[in-house]
Amino acid sequence: MASNLLQSNDNRLEIAARNDIYQPQLSSLRKLESMSVRLLKQFGKISRNIRPAFKEHCTRIITISNSANYVHNTTLFLSSNRLLSTTNINLNDAPTIDHVTYEKVCSETLNELCDYFEELTENATNISGSDVSYGDGVLTVRLGNDFGTYVINRQTPNKQIWLSSPTSGPKRYDFVETQSGNSGKWIYKHTGESMHDLLQQEIQNIFKDQKINFLALRYSN
């Protein structure tokens, strides 16, 4: 029953994302997004047998909401319980790092981003209703109704980090090591832009009363 309910909601959200989203639909998506953020905080209380579908569903709602808000005529589709965009993806781009390195780098990246976002929201004077939560590989940064929600999550099968932005939509980042192999950064291969560069550009326009420096974090350059 829970599975059927999740699938039914997915279908309605997918249809909404395929068509022009007018203000009433956007408002409904934002309400669903807010509900999903609240539900993710209760993740530990959810029955274990539906946790995977529950987490994926809540994250998907937030990402679709961000995508619909960013570009109304983007076609989104759901495949294998993952959100994909119609952006051309080179499926032959195999990850170049081993599993152990990926797990280490990904965990350090998400933990440090979580700490930094918590610091920013605690010191913010121009944002109400902000919240940062991190669990089970999903970092959710709620920046109030004016600025929306960022979701940054681990994608272990692809050895990627996926980011959903209310400003620029969804992107998938691969870790590209330096030639020395001692460091590296998360790169969106379609543009060559790093995840930290994107956050630097977007977040500094939100926390205008603070000095933002995502480029000082690990794996940013």
Structure confidence by residue, pLDDT tens digits, 125-163: 888 889 999 998 999 999 988 899 999 999 999 999 999
Are 178 and 160 a contacting pair, CB within 8 Å? no
Most confident of 8-17, 82-91, 106-115: 106-115
Longest Cα separation, the chain: 52
Q: Is residue 90 part of a domain?
A: no
Q: How far apart are CA 197 and CA 187, in angstroms?
A: 9
151 shares its domain with 194 = yes
Give the orientation angle of helix 23-41 with respect to helix 51-70, to 10 degrees.
Answer: 150
Mean pLDDT for 185-205 is: 95
Domain assignment of residue 184, yes or no: yes
pLDDT at 162: 96
Over residues 187-193, the mean pLDDT reads 94
Mean pLDDT score, 17-33: 50
Please give the DSSP secondary-structure letter assigned to residue 214.
G
Tally the domains of the chain.
2
54 part of a folded domain: yes
pLDDT of residue 16: 44
Residues 116 and 207 in one domain: yes
Domain span at 42: 2-85
Domain boundary among 59, 85, 111: 85
Average pLDDT of the chain is 74
- Same domain (yes/no): 52, 8: yes
Structure confidence at residue 89 as a pLDDT band (50, 70, 90): very low
Termini Cα distance of the chain? 47
